[in-house]
Structure 1
Amino acid sequence: MREMKNTQSHDEDGVIKPGAKLSGNDYVLVTLRDSGDPSGRILLVRKGFRCIHGCTICVECAESWELDHHVHYQQTGGGRRLREALNAQHPAADNAHPAKVDSTEPGTIEADSYRQ
Protein backbone atom coordinates (compact mmCIF):
# COMPACT_ATOMS: atom_id res chain seq x y z
CA MET A 1 0.00 0.00 0.00
CA ARG A 2 1.33 3.40 -1.00
CA GLU A 3 1.92 5.84 1.87
CA MET A 4 0.52 9.34 1.98
CA LYS A 5 2.27 12.35 3.43
CA ASN A 6 2.02 12.61 7.23
CA THR A 7 0.47 16.04 7.94
CA GLN A 8 -1.24 17.83 10.82
CA SER A 9 -4.63 16.47 9.77
CA HIS A 10 -3.90 12.88 8.74
CA ASP A 11 -1.21 10.23 9.06
CA GLU A 12 0.76 8.40 6.39
CA ASP A 13 -2.09 5.87 6.03
CA GLY A 14 -4.64 8.59 5.27
CA VAL A 15 -6.37 8.19 8.63
CA ILE A 16 -7.65 11.48 10.05
CA LYS A 17 -5.89 12.24 13.31
CA PRO A 18 -8.03 12.67 16.43
CA GLY A 19 -8.72 16.34 17.06
CA ALA A 20 -7.79 17.38 13.51
CA LYS A 21 -9.74 20.41 12.36
CA LEU A 22 -11.03 19.79 8.85
CA SER A 23 -13.61 21.43 6.66
CA GLY A 24 -16.68 19.32 5.96
CA ASN A 25 -15.52 19.41 2.34
CA ASP A 26 -12.54 17.21 3.24
CA TYR A 27 -14.18 14.16 4.79
CA VAL A 28 -17.23 11.93 4.85
CA LEU A 29 -18.68 10.28 7.94
CA VAL A 30 -18.98 6.50 8.12
CA THR A 31 -20.42 4.17 10.73
CA LEU A 32 -19.49 0.50 10.85
CA ARG A 33 -22.55 -1.66 10.14
CA ASP A 34 -23.69 -3.86 13.02
CA SER A 35 -21.89 -1.67 15.56
CA GLY A 36 -22.91 0.90 18.12
CA ASP A 37 -19.67 2.83 17.60
CA PRO A 38 -19.93 6.53 16.77
CA SER A 39 -19.28 7.77 13.26
CA GLY A 40 -15.69 8.09 12.10
CA ARG A 41 -14.24 10.57 9.62
CA ILE A 42 -12.71 9.26 6.42
CA LEU A 43 -10.49 11.56 4.39
CA LEU A 44 -11.80 12.32 0.89
CA VAL A 45 -9.28 12.15 -1.92
CA ARG A 46 -10.29 14.09 -4.98
CA LYS A 47 -7.99 12.28 -7.42
CA GLY A 48 -8.49 8.52 -7.49
CA PHE A 49 -4.86 7.78 -8.31
CA ARG A 50 -3.87 9.32 -4.93
CA CYS A 51 -6.36 7.25 -2.91
CA ILE A 52 -4.79 4.37 -0.99
CA HIS A 53 -8.13 2.50 -1.01
CA GLY A 54 -8.65 1.33 2.53
CA CYS A 55 -8.17 4.35 4.79
CA THR A 56 -9.27 7.03 2.34
CA ILE A 57 -12.35 7.29 0.16
CA CYS A 58 -12.74 8.45 -3.43
CA VAL A 59 -15.29 7.95 -6.20
CA GLU A 60 -13.51 4.75 -7.23
CA CYS A 61 -13.71 3.11 -3.80
CA ALA A 62 -16.78 4.78 -2.22
CA GLU A 63 -19.19 2.01 -3.09
CA SER A 64 -16.92 -0.64 -1.58
CA TRP A 65 -17.12 1.19 1.77
CA GLU A 66 -20.90 0.70 1.69
CA LEU A 67 -20.44 -3.07 2.09
CA ASP A 68 -19.31 -2.75 5.72
CA HIS A 69 -20.22 0.85 6.59
CA HIS A 70 -23.10 3.29 6.46
CA VAL A 71 -21.61 6.16 4.45
CA HIS A 72 -23.31 9.37 5.62
CA TYR A 73 -23.08 11.30 2.35
CA GLN A 74 -25.59 13.98 3.34
CA GLN A 75 -23.82 15.08 6.53
CA THR A 76 -20.85 16.86 4.95
CA GLY A 77 -20.29 18.98 1.86
CA GLY A 78 -17.62 16.57 0.68
CA GLY A 79 -19.98 13.64 1.14
CA ARG A 80 -22.70 15.35 -0.89
CA ARG A 81 -20.25 16.04 -3.72
CA LEU A 82 -19.05 12.42 -3.58
CA ARG A 83 -22.67 11.23 -3.86
CA GLU A 84 -23.18 13.54 -6.88
CA ALA A 85 -20.05 12.11 -8.52
CA LEU A 86 -21.33 8.56 -7.97
CA ASN A 87 -24.73 9.51 -9.41
CA ALA A 88 -22.99 10.94 -12.48
CA GLN A 89 -20.96 7.76 -12.87
CA HIS A 90 -24.02 5.47 -12.66
CA PRO A 91 -27.03 7.54 -13.80
CA ALA A 92 -29.27 4.50 -14.42
CA ALA A 93 -28.68 2.99 -10.98
CA ASP A 94 -30.92 3.74 -8.01
CA ASN A 95 -28.43 5.83 -6.03
CA ALA A 96 -30.98 7.44 -3.73
CA HIS A 97 -30.83 4.54 -1.25
CA PRO A 98 -27.75 5.59 0.80
CA ALA A 99 -28.97 9.18 1.12
CA LYS A 100 -32.44 7.95 2.09
CA VAL A 101 -30.98 5.72 4.80
CA ASP A 102 -28.88 8.59 6.16
CA SER A 103 -31.76 11.03 6.29
CA THR A 104 -33.93 8.67 8.35
CA GLU A 105 -31.32 7.76 10.93
CA PRO A 106 -31.91 9.21 14.37
CA GLY A 107 -29.48 11.87 15.48
CA THR A 108 -28.50 13.09 12.04
CA ILE A 109 -26.95 16.53 12.07
CA GLU A 110 -26.50 19.36 9.64
CA ALA A 111 -23.13 19.27 7.88
CA ASP A 112 -22.35 22.92 8.53
CA SER A 113 -22.88 22.59 12.28
CA TYR A 114 -20.77 19.44 12.73
CA ARG A 115 -17.38 19.88 14.34
CA GLN A 116 -15.36 17.14 15.92
Structure 2
Amino acid sequence: MTPFLDTVFAALADPTRRAILSMLLEDDMAVTDVASAFPVSLAAVSKHLQVLAEAGLISQEKRGRITWCRLEPDALREAGAWMAGFGLMEAVDLDAFERFLEEELAEGDREAKAAS
Protein backbone atom coordinates (compact mmCIF):
# COMPACT_ATOMS: atom_id res chain seq x y z
CA MET A 1 0.00 0.00 0.00
CA THR A 2 1.07 3.54 -0.63
CA PRO A 3 1.49 6.07 2.18
CA PHE A 4 -1.60 7.81 0.77
CA LEU A 5 -3.70 4.70 1.37
CA ASP A 6 -2.27 4.33 4.86
CA THR A 7 -3.41 7.87 5.63
CA VAL A 8 -6.88 7.30 4.17
CA PHE A 9 -7.44 4.04 6.05
CA ALA A 10 -6.13 5.57 9.28
CA ALA A 11 -8.60 8.44 8.87
CA LEU A 12 -11.45 6.00 8.19
CA ALA A 13 -10.58 3.89 11.23
CA ASP A 14 -12.29 6.30 13.62
CA PRO A 15 -16.10 6.08 13.93
CA THR A 16 -16.46 9.82 14.55
CA ARG A 17 -14.64 10.59 11.31
CA ARG A 18 -16.78 8.08 9.41
CA ALA A 19 -19.88 9.75 10.86
CA ILE A 20 -18.61 13.15 9.72
CA LEU A 21 -18.10 11.81 6.20
CA SER A 22 -21.64 10.43 6.21
CA MET A 23 -22.96 13.83 7.24
CA LEU A 24 -21.05 15.51 4.43
CA LEU A 25 -22.61 13.14 1.88
CA GLU A 26 -25.76 15.23 2.19
CA ASP A 27 -24.24 18.68 1.68
CA ASP A 28 -21.40 20.99 2.64
CA MET A 29 -21.50 21.93 6.30
CA ALA A 30 -20.05 24.63 8.51
CA VAL A 31 -17.55 23.37 11.08
CA THR A 32 -19.83 24.54 13.88
CA ASP A 33 -22.74 22.54 12.44
CA VAL A 34 -20.57 19.43 12.22
CA ALA A 35 -19.43 19.95 15.80
CA SER A 36 -22.98 20.38 17.10
CA ALA A 37 -23.77 16.79 16.07
CA PHE A 38 -21.23 15.32 18.51
CA PRO A 39 -20.97 15.32 22.31
CA VAL A 40 -17.38 16.54 22.22
CA SER A 41 -15.76 19.95 22.06
CA LEU A 42 -15.37 22.05 18.93
CA ALA A 43 -11.60 21.58 19.31
CA ALA A 44 -11.98 17.78 19.25
CA VAL A 45 -14.15 17.90 16.13
CA SER A 46 -11.67 20.30 14.53
CA LYS A 47 -8.92 17.73 15.07
CA HIS A 48 -11.04 15.07 13.38
CA LEU A 49 -11.67 17.44 10.48
CA GLN A 50 -7.94 18.12 10.20
CA VAL A 51 -7.21 14.38 9.94
CA LEU A 52 -9.86 14.01 7.23
CA ALA A 53 -8.46 17.02 5.35
CA GLU A 54 -4.89 15.70 5.55
CA ALA A 55 -6.13 12.40 4.10
CA GLY A 56 -7.76 14.34 1.26
CA LEU A 57 -11.22 13.08 2.21
CA ILE A 58 -12.61 16.56 2.82
CA SER A 59 -11.69 20.10 1.89
CA GLN A 60 -12.28 23.18 3.97
CA GLU A 61 -13.02 26.66 2.66
CA LYS A 62 -13.33 29.88 4.58
CA ARG A 63 -16.38 31.92 3.49
CA GLY A 64 -16.44 35.10 5.48
CA ARG A 65 -16.08 34.12 9.13
CA ILE A 66 -17.38 30.58 8.60
CA THR A 67 -15.29 27.56 7.62
CA TRP A 68 -17.17 25.12 5.40
CA CYS A 69 -16.37 21.44 4.93
CA ARG A 70 -16.91 19.59 1.68
CA LEU A 71 -16.64 15.88 1.00
CA GLU A 72 -14.00 14.95 -1.60
CA PRO A 73 -15.35 11.63 -2.93
CA ASP A 74 -12.53 11.17 -5.45
CA ALA A 75 -10.11 10.70 -2.56
CA LEU A 76 -11.67 7.30 -1.90
CA ARG A 77 -11.18 6.13 -5.49
CA GLU A 78 -7.69 4.65 -4.91
CA ALA A 79 -8.79 3.00 -1.66
CA GLY A 80 -11.87 1.62 -3.40
CA ALA A 81 -9.78 0.25 -6.25
CA TRP A 82 -7.42 -1.40 -3.78
CA MET A 83 -10.32 -3.02 -1.89
CA ALA A 84 -12.07 -4.06 -5.11
CA GLY A 85 -9.03 -6.14 -6.00
CA PHE A 86 -9.95 -8.49 -3.18
CA GLY A 87 -13.42 -8.97 -4.60
CA LEU A 88 -11.96 -10.38 -7.81
CA MET A 89 -10.51 -13.40 -6.07
CA GLU A 90 -12.75 -16.43 -5.78
CA ALA A 91 -13.29 -17.96 -2.39
CA VAL A 92 -11.05 -20.93 -1.80
CA ASP A 93 -12.82 -24.21 -1.04
CA LEU A 94 -10.33 -25.68 1.43
CA ASP A 95 -12.03 -29.08 1.50
CA ALA A 96 -11.77 -29.39 -2.29
CA PHE A 97 -8.15 -28.23 -2.15
CA GLU A 98 -7.37 -30.86 0.51
CA ARG A 99 -9.00 -33.59 -1.63
CA PHE A 100 -6.97 -32.44 -4.63
CA LEU A 101 -3.74 -32.64 -2.64
CA GLU A 102 -4.59 -36.09 -1.30
CA GLU A 103 -5.32 -37.34 -4.84
CA GLU A 104 -2.10 -35.84 -6.18
CA LEU A 105 -0.03 -37.34 -3.36
CA ALA A 106 -1.71 -40.73 -3.77
CA GLU A 107 -1.05 -40.65 -7.52
CA GLY A 108 2.58 -39.72 -6.89
CA ASP A 109 2.92 -42.67 -4.47
CA ARG A 110 1.42 -45.06 -7.04
CA GLU A 111 3.80 -43.83 -9.73
CA ALA A 112 6.80 -44.18 -7.39
CA LYS A 113 5.80 -47.79 -6.49
CA ALA A 114 5.27 -48.67 -10.15
CA ALA A 115 8.70 -47.29 -11.05
CA SER A 116 10.47 -49.42 -8.42
| Alignment TM-score, normalising by the size of structure 2 | 0.25
